[in-house]
Amino acid sequence: MKIPDKTVVLTFDDSVRSHLTVAAPLLKKHGFGGTFFVTHAWMDDTNNYLNWEEIAQLDKMGFEVGNHSWSHIAFATPKDAELLSNELVKVEYQLEKVGVPKPVSFSWPGNQFGPEAVEVLKNAGYLFARRGPQPDVPESSVVGLGPLYDPEINTPLLVPSSGLAVPGWTLSDFKTIVDRAKNGQIVVFQFHGVPDGRHPPCTTPPERFKEFVEYLSDNNFNVISLRDVKKYVSPDAGKNDPISKARFVP
């Protein structure tokens, strides 16, 4: 199926409380999709992070709930990749208890990955996994600007972040990234909290996020979850992706 121009995927990491109180209601208001990647890592901090019952509300609102591992460790080495299967299952079990279906999408903690862990995801039945902008672009490049996602070229278990939100983003910065969504390529955003009180380097001010979402709405962008990309992905997608055998540890 041909990918419409202006197709954008919005993803959110870490089970931050503002996902439910700020981001999800705003997306719902505009009829947008989105993927919320959940982890147990910081759930003891109930002031800043959601519990499982609250995460279930995101699912009931129609959003995708993805797996971000149980403890948010990196899985880039063969040794750590051996832990991934159990980490996936622990999150899946808690989601099942609150009525959320088994995830089909994963977010690489710390944006680190390796071929052994990719194989674990594949064997566990995951269809998509989102990484960061690296190693395609150097960390010294434009802050937050990453490669576009081409479902015909990129392996679906290493979907690149086209934009990794940073606190200083302006609407102009956002436009620079999102307006590249054309010619069969998708812009995939990686957000964290809106805001994120515990991890300030990852925060997005709510008023700025509102500007971003309104820009998408006013300009008729096709805003979907990561799982919704399935209809655009061919069965042999990513076989020649040079990143598919890569290992990335910052």
Q: Are 19 and 50 in contact (CB under 8 A)?
A: yes
**Average pLDDT value for the chain:** 95
Residue ranges covered by each domain of the chain: 7-241
Spatial distance between the Cα atoms of 148 and 240, rounded to a whole number of angstroms: 16
Assigned CATH topology for domain 7-241: TIM Barrel (3.20.20)
Structure tokens at 63: 């959003």
pLDDT in tens, 74-133: 999 999 999 999 999 999 999 999 999 999 999 999 999 999 999 999 999 999 999 999
pLDDT in tens, 205-239: 999 999 999 999 999 999 999 999 999 988 778 88
pLDDT in tens, 43-59: 999 999 999 999 999 99
Using pLDDT thresholds of 50, 70 and 90, give the confidence band for residue 174. very high
Measured over the CA atoms of residue 192, residue 21, residue 180 and residue 7, the dihedral's sign is positive
Name all contacts of 45-53 with Cβ < 8 Å and 24+ positions apart: 45/198, 47/17, 47/197, 48/16, 48/17, 48/193, 48/196, 48/197, 48/198, 49/14, 49/15, 49/16, 49/17, 49/198, 50/15, 50/16, 50/17, 50/19, 50/20, 52/94, 52/95, 52/97, 52/98, 53/98
Q: Are 194 and 18 in contact (CB under 8 A)?
A: yes
CA distances from 224 to 188, 199, 232 (A): 10, 26, 12
Q: Are 110 and 68 in contact (CB under 8 A)?
A: no
Has residue 140 got a pLDDT over 60?
no
Which run of H or E residues covers position 9? Answer: strand 7-13
Which of 219, 208, 153 shows the shortest CA–CA distance to 186? 153
